[in-house]
Structure 1
Amino acid sequence: MAPAIDYFFAAQSPWTYLGHERFVRMARAAGAQVRVRPADYGKVFPASGGLPLPKRAPQRQAYRLVELKRFSDHLGVPLNVQPRHFPVNPDDASRLIVAVERDDGADAALALSGAVFAAVWRQERDIASAQVLGELLSECGLPAARLEGSREPAVQQAYEANTQAAIDAGVFGAPSYVVDGEIFWGQDRLDFLERKLRSFN
């Protein structure tokens, strides 16, 4: 039986960006079904004891920048550690990903997610801008109408359901990959996720 992975993330997460392409390749190689689940970490953090970045201690904020640079160099994934449009409200981008998964499937949603991450962390683009989101749809070969569709109440409800599912699963950070109730937190845990996926063969 093919494994199923709940892929929980924040649309503005640099760590999700750093691991995204590796994760997509890994999931495809395993024949896994991916459920693309952007979540509102503004609600996940309070439920799990976490703090949003601006409220973290200065030492933690400084070390985060060091680690981002380390992983960017190690993985060969270009990343601006302090991009122009960050912090940024991720909600519109998240809802757009939800709408694309609903109407175009998981592969399209994964492609758009990768484009959203790169827009923030590589290209210095504002993912809170409707114009930028429309451009990303076009660049991914997706219908412009998805932007309007992302404003439907059903999409907001699905976004909220993703957030509650993350909380119920015990998720506390992004990215989190959940397989059979087991959480793999962080792009630096992808090796462990790969071992888990192999166990299904």
Structure 2
Amino acid sequence: MQSRWLSMWLGAAVALTRGLIPATIATLKDEWPRPRFSSYHEFLGQTLGIVGFGSIGRVVAKKAHAFRLQCVAYDPMLSVDAVELDGFSVPLITLNALLSSSDTVSLHLPFLPETKNLFNASTLDQMTEGACLVNRGRGGIVDELALAEHLRSGRIGGAAIDVFLAEPAKDLNHFVGIENLILTPHTAGVTHESNERVSQMIADNP
């Protein structure tokens, strides 16, 4: 069940890497900037940095491995050098090393005092230039104002955010006008099928 939201995660990561949203906007404006979009990258073979390597982070790694992504992970609760997963190994490295080597960074952390605004301006500065950030874990881990600034400057290539510190999210004007950005209202696991499954579970357990 945990992996059913991965299609949304994967779709967002691919869309950011290939610049599909800016390409759509440009095409609707009657532009045809093919040279600009030749600067975007293929998704296969990229390096994925997974921040938080519990059960969800490991599911992400398994699916990413199937797409030939190179996975590295950071988890302050783990003291091993690597984790073996179904025939492949995921190195556990420092957060700084992960940020500087990953094309996409995916967050799967709980919201704690220690993780509040963990991804602030200083942390975002350590990411590979043009890298993408995906947060479907918990709101409050990413400093939204700092992220907006880094997206506008191009320092961060794109972001997909599904969770916010306060939900329903309001006052997101700092993101207005940013093209390579996906904002969703905490719906990574919400589908017609998931609603049917929940209804069936309730019916089976009155």
Q: Greater CA radius of gyration, 1 or 2? A: 2
Structure with more relative contact order (C-alpha pairs < 8 Å, separation 6 or more): 1
**Given the two structures, how large is their TM-score scaled by the length of structure 2?**
0.28
**Given the two structures, how large is their TM-score scaled by the length of structure 1?**
0.29
Instruction: Pick the structure with more strand per residue.
Output: 2
